[in-house]
Amino acid sequence: MRTRYAIPAIAVAFLAGSATVALAQTAGPSQQDARDALTVVSEFIEAHPDATTTTTVAPTTTSSSTTTTVAPTTTTIAPTTTTVPATTTTLPAAGDVGEQYGGYATPIGAYQSVAYNTNDAQKVKQAGFGWVRVDATVKAVMPTATTRNYQSMWNWVDPFVAAGIKPMVNWYILPQWMNGSTNDKTQPLTDKVYADSLTEAAPLMWAHGVRAIELWNEPNLSGFWAPTPDRVRYVSMAKSAAAAIRVAAPGMLIVTGGISTADTEYGNGTHKTVTRYDTGASYTTTEIGANQTLDIYGALGLCAAKDAAGRLLFDGVGIHPYLDGTDPSTGGTVDGWMRWQENSMRRSIGILDKWGCQGVKVWNTESAAPRSVMSEQEQANRAAHAFQAFNLWTLANLAKMRTRLGPYFYFTYADWTSASEARARTFGLVTPTYVDHLARPAVSAVLDDPVA
């Protein structure tokens, strides 16, 4: 596997019995620099458990620089200024499929130890993956308006970066002070409170090596956007958040929350008619399922929105078509439903293009082939075909479709045995102890293919 990912150097000094961690982007840091530094940090944390406790900080203001001072009774972080370079993150132009497009989505990384995540990252890297997506769990990072526990995020971000894997943070699961509810999937009280949280967090994530942020998870599904999905409100929130990130961390890739194919708004028949962003005229969609949400996003100007410098606010639109009833080989049925198949993706990309979104890519940020509804061999076939798309699929003009695609994140690498849904316990390419299912070597063989 070839790694072309710049890892931030981490300087560690020990002062007055506590740790001071200074993060800085340096020119040309090596992966070994990051590994050595992270080893020191991990050893210190294991020897000093109090170093990972939640700390109290002063309320933040909207700024592209963040200064955090922690009371000396706990871990003290020396006042530092995080400067984010005005560069743009792009997908590598060369390499193998795994390095550019091979993603792994995990639901549990944010709840695991550094040791667990270090081992997981090494296994995933060996399997050929180049990206990882993990829920940030904002309520753990920002439990109150004035307390922060970023270590809960660094516990998984740092090990994956050290392994040469690019992290995507899914920014949702909110604390009550941000959404006014005990349901952590409830939408934020205001667009501003969500955007402000990213103004603070995005530069810190960038300094730790995060290169993409996904704004929410399945906002078109009632289980993830309470009290009920609202396309209009989501677009408003996402635009505000993306604008904040563009200022705070200009190089960060920004992707809309992956939409579920089990679209609640489509089922309810809500927000089918909206006001067009470009003409002010009324627009009623005729699309179905998740493509209907995609169409309304376009009508509301989500992927045509730009910042003050004229740069698109969004680099990608997130989707979540699973593989239960779909073999993602070339061709496929075109009937209006969103599927991870060549012809279906041509249609979805065409919907974006209708609204002038040619500069926005489609990121499949969560998908899987569950063994609960298919044989182990069929899981292997479908999972491998899902990644072959980047070399085989084409657009209507026969250009490679990968020019319009972001990474594909397989959910999950190891079986998620604690999942409440029985189906979700059978997604993995390996067992919880990393014993291969048939799908793992099948997928790895595709991830190792050069991009052709």
Instruction: Report if residue 452 sits inside a domain.
Output: no
Residue at 161: amino acid letter = V
- Which of 209, 211, 244, 213 has its CA nearest to residue 90? 211
CATH code, domain carrying 276: 3.20.20.80
Instruction: Report if residue 127 sits inside a domain.
Output: yes
Instruction: Report if residue 305 sits inside a domain.
Output: yes
What is residue 441's predicted lDDT score, i.e. its pLDDT?
98
User: What is the Cα–Cα distance from 169 to 133, expressed in whole angstroms?
Assistant: 6
Instruction: Report if residue 40 sits inside a domain.
Output: no
- Which of 291, 259, 251, 253 has its CA nearest to residue 272? 291
Q: Which neighbouring-strand residues pair with 55?
A: 148
User: What is the Cα–Cα distance from 301 to 309, expressed in whole angstroms?
Assistant: 17
pLDDT by residue (tens digit) across 326-339?
999 888 888 899 99
Query: Mean pLDDT over residues 24-36, rounded?
Result: 41
Instruction: Report if residue 358 sits inside a domain.
Output: yes
User: What is the Cα–Cα distance from 157 to 23, expressed in whole angstroms?
Assistant: 14
Instruction: Report if residue 60 sits inside a domain.
Output: no
- Which of 260, 235, 258 has its CA nearest to residue 313? 235
Instruction: Report if residue 218 sits inside a domain.
Output: yes
Going by their DSSP bridges, the two strands 166-170 and 273-275 should be labelled as unpaired
Torsion of CA 220, 221, 227, 231, to 10 degrees: 10
pLDDT by residue (tens digit) across 210-222?
999 999 999 999 9
Backbone CA torsion sign across 69, 67, 110, 5: negative
Task: Look at 408 and 9; give whichever has higher pLDDT.
Answer: 408
Instruction: Report if residue 6 sits inside a domain.
Output: no
pLDDT by residue (tens digit) across 412-441?
999 999 999 999 999 999 999 999 999 999
Is the separation of the CB atoms in 387 and 446 below 8 Å? yes
Residue at 85: amino acid letter = P
Number of domains, the chain: 1
pLDDT by residue (tens digit) across 304-362?
899 989 999 999 999 999 999 999 988 888 889 999 999 999 999 999 999 999 999 99
pLDDT by residue (tens digit) across 236-284?
999 999 999 999 999 999 999 999 999 999 999 999 999 999 999 999 9
Could you list the residue range(s) of the whole structural domain that residue 263 is in?
97-447
